Amino acid sequence: MITFNHIKKSFGDKIVLNDVGHVMETGKCNLIIGTSGSGKTVLQKCLVGLFEPDSGDIIYDDISFTRMNDEERKQLRQQIGMLFQGSALFDSMTVEQNVMFPLDMFTRLAYNEKLKRVNEVLDRVNLIEANKKYPAEISGGMKKRVGIARAIVLNPKYLFCDEPNSGLDPQTSMVIDKLILDITKEFGMTTVINTHDMNSVMEIGENILYMYQGQKEWSGNNKEIIFSKNERLNAFIFASEFLQDAKDMRMLEARGKISDDRNMDEMLK
């Protein structure tokens, strides 16, 4: 569980995060959503320590991250895995070497044991026969899978994903979402996902934090979000007419007015 309270962060005069607080639950996919510039990436970078918040407290389980010294942070970070927006794979290394890197750095396992573990996680993310390929030789979806494999190779307690679906087609996005959800459940991790992909929100949003102009605007889950009365959240979710129609359908469905044999035009009248 990750708890953060009263997080503030400014860059010069610009206040990016203003008194943000929330609880990211263990064993769940915790989503931070919001429009571009709402502060979700900065919040995530504060949570992992890439940015130092101006004030506020970040607590990993029972330990205050903000009060840790550098050495303690280094220790904690070995329990954190992160999937970056662009995957952030090391260009000069093969897929296998990329995934093996954390094992090389932080364990004293023999090469064969490391290779076994690498193959296990690559198999877990459904990526086989790509071990010897370089990042430039694989697709965007495969890069994300390698990124996930590298993030989980040390069995982390916390997994952070920054826009895991960016640049992916909807089908591949769903596969990645499902993979993250499955891994979260399987390893009991606290997963924090930063996204503005509504498909992801609906598919895996078990605990959602909606950010608006650097502040917490709404929180709930993917069941509650559809029926939220928050206007800003609704403007964000139902930005397209299609989604608005879909919402209307869900509302009608919820009231029991839709039969299985649907007629969209009739329903929307």
Partner 1 sequence: MLKGMFSKPENMRMYWKEFMHQCSEIGIGSLGIVILISVFMGAVSAVQTAYQLVSPIIPQSTIAQIVRDTVILEFAPTLVCIVLAGVVGSKIASELGNMRVSEQIDALEIMGINTRAYLVMPKIVAALVTIPLLVVLSMVLGIWGGRLAGSAADILPTDVYDRGLLQNFVPYNVIFAMTKAYTFAFIISSIPAYYGYYVKGGALEIGRSSTKSVVVSCVMILFADYILAQILLSHP
Residues at the contact surface with partner 1, assessed by CB under 8 A: 48-50, 70, 73-78, 80-82, 84-86, 88-91, 101-102, 104-106, 160
Q: What is the closest distance, in whole angstroms, from the C-beta atom of residue 65 to partner 1 in the complex?
A: 13
- 47, 41 Cβ separation under 8 angstroms: no
Nearer to partner 1, 81 or 141 (CB): 81
Nearer to partner 1, 17 or 82 (CB): 82
- 214, 39 Cβ separation under 8 angstroms: yes
Nearest residue to 149 via CA among 99, 109, 184: 99
Q: What is the closest distance, in whole angstroms, from the C-beta atom of residue 175 to partner 1 in the complex?
A: 22
Nearer to partner 1, 43 or 80 (CB): 80
Tokens of 208: 């959602």
Q: What is the closest distance, in whole angstroms, from the C-beta atom of residue 62 to partner 1 in the complex?
A: 20
Residues with Cβ < 8 Å from 147, sequence gap 6 or more?
83, 84, 87, 88, 89
- 205, 194 Cβ separation under 8 angstroms: no
Q: What is the closest distance, in whole angstroms, from the C-beta atom of residue 87 to partner 1 in the complex?
A: 8
Nearer to partner 1, 97 or 221 (CB): 97
Residue 7 CA to residue 214 CA, distance in Å, equals: 10
Nearer to partner 1, 50 or 63 (CB): 50
Pairing of strands 158-162, 190-195: parallel
Q: What is the closest distance, in whole angstroms, from the C-beta atom of residue 153 to partner 1 in the complex?
A: 10
